[in-house]
Structure 1
Amino acid sequence: MRILIIEDNPDIVANLYEYFEPLGHQLDNARTGHAGLARASEEQFDVIVLDGMLPGLDGLEVCRQLREEQHCNTPVLMLTARDTVHDKVTGLRAGADDYLVKPYSLIELEARLLALVRRANASSHEQVLRFGELEFDTGTFEARRSGQRLELTPFGYKMLAALLRAAPRLVTREELEQELWKDEPPLSDALRSHIHALRQAIDKAFPTSQPMLITVPGIGYRLVDAHASE
């Protein structure tokens, strides 16, 4: 693995180098959030280990900018001392793929990183997802309907990818919540607001076209091909 470590504690950085390099992994390190963003944009990494409590630009903001501004889809594992459910949910909402609390086991950290890389490699084989008028390039984060570019939120891209992979099969609410928040969904019905934003982008912005995002009340959501019955 090529691992980018965004961490300001030199002891932790040294510990990670001592463990991972003898195993054949290649490591790079940035000590600040701004430096980490620059390194992530300059080179391709398999996975990013991100400290949550960086000076200046903290880990949550780094993760948000990676997803929303750089459209970086490299897996991110947040490594932090913050251990409440709220902290974990906040990290996942910011765009992290996994969350590990300090102190941690290096063996567990390696296993989690390898799992993230496996999932990322598996999904890369289906980089361009298409159904009906919709298409989404998961490598460049470009989504289009009828050739027109769609501007989505980070959660919007994740939901669209899940719906496209399943289409025309229904995707349950639980499946979408797992896609967005892993095993720790929020207590509020946040999914409803994210679905509303996605529907605004792919349907409401095309008033002369048939809606493609369909709600099955109490169960979930699915995509339909607007021209399938023509």
Structure 2
Amino acid sequence: MHVLIVEDNPDIIANLYGFLEPLGYTLDVARTGTAGLERAVNAFHDVVVLDLSLPGLDGLEVCRRLRKEYRLATPILMLTARDTVQDKLTGFDVGADDYLVKPYSLPELDARLKALVRRSRKETVDYVLTFDELRLDTSTGQASRAGQPLALTPTGYKILAALMRNAPTLVTRETLEREVWGDNPPDSDALRTHIHALRQAMDKPFASPLLITVAGSGYRLGGSR
């Protein structure tokens, strides 16, 4: 999981690295509100951990701009020492998804981050993803289009799940590679090969293609009509 931490306190940053990295998190840090805004907009992250009190732009303004100006949907967990109900409501009003008051438990932070990412990926209680004619049951690994089963490779399944969670929004090559291979994507153009195999399975037998290539950017799912 890739996490952007927007925090200016070096002790807190060190604690987060010490706890989260051994759990498998990949951390990116910005120490001012302005830097955090730029990093959040220009790089992919699964979730943003945003301190309220920051030099330059404060956390509320960073959150407001990410939501209103840049339309960024990445989950945002706000950290603050302010614990009144009004403070929390203000954070939610500008677009925060969750709120954790300092001092906080690191295991609780871990649990909240994972919950935010699950919700953002639309991993619902029944674990079924649907888009247009596609249906993907993540509990059984079975996929179908217009009621016809699709024969997917394990990698094809991961790619399709990522595309369906974000459909019809573009998913970048970088994001898909991370979904499939984590932080160690192959040097070769393996993704293109797997995309070709997925297209053969889900589009070739049907009249209308659903898997769309956006040249130079990535892939997305489109409607059949």
Task: Please give the secondary structure, in 1, of the residue aligned with 2:29.
Answer: strand
**What is the percentage of aligned positions where both structures have the same residue?**
64
The offset of 1:122, in angstroms, is 1.1
The offset of 1:42, in angstroms, is 1.3
Cα distance in 2, alignment partners of residues 90 and 16 from structure 1:
25
| 5+ residue gaps, structure 2 | 133-166, 171-225
The offset of 1:91, in angstroms, is 0.2
The offset of 1:43, in angstroms, is 0.9
Instruction: Report the number of matched residues.
Output: 132
Work out whether 1:13 is the aligned partner of 2:17.
no
Normalized against structure 2, the TM-score is what?
A: 0.56
**Which letter maps to 2:13?**
V
Q: How does 1:58-207 map to 2 (within 5 A)?
A: 58-122=58-122, 139=169
Q: Do the aligned residues in 2 keep the contact of 1:52 with 1:60 (CA within 8 Å)?
A: yes
Tell me which residue corresponds to 1:31. 31
Q: How does 1:209-220 map to 2 (within 5 A)?
A: none
Q: How does 1:35-50 map to 2 (within 5 A)?
A: 35-50=35-50
Q: Deviations over 1:152-197 (max 9, x none)?
A: xxxxxxxxxxxxxxxxxxxxxxxxxxxxxxxxxxxxxxxxxxxxxx
CA pair 60-123 structure 1, distance change in 2 beyond 3 A: farther
The offset of 1:93, in angstroms, is 0.3
Normalized against structure 1, the TM-score is what?
A: 0.54
- Report runs of 4+ in structure 1 exceeding 2 Å deviation: 123-128, 137-140
Work out whether 1:52 is the aligned partner of 2:35.
no
Cα distance in 2, alignment partners of residues 138 and 126 from structure 1:
11
Task: Please give the secondary structure, in 1, of the residue aligned with 2:122.
Answer: helix
Give the superposed CA RMSD: 2.0
| 5+ residue gaps, structure 1 | 129-136, 141-230
